[in-house]
Amino acid sequence: MTGAETLDFARESIYLLIELSAPTMLTALVVGVVIGLLQALTQIQEMTLVFVPKILAIFVVLLFALPMAGEAMATYMNGIAVRIAQP
């Protein structure tokens, strides 16, 4: 494997990592900001209020994103297998 191929492999790995983690991270960010705004508007400063909606929202997003994530990882693994099999 040449240096260019190694860099290409690393770039693909980082892109896949971002692609797989983006839906959950963005969901947690949006839900956290919305709950924070609601807490600021209503002056309810309950620390546990943030966790339950955020966990539920992330769970729902994971249910929808897992098939896409599985397909992306399978495609990536097939590409790795092809690279390994090449002489």
Torsion 66-70-75-79 (CA) sign: positive
pLDDT 10s digits, 3-53: 888 899 999 999 999 999 999 999 999 999 999 898 888 888 887 888 899
Torsion 43-44-45-47 (CA) sign: negative
Q: Please determine, for residue 87, whether its predicted confidence score (pLDDT) is greater than 80.
A: no
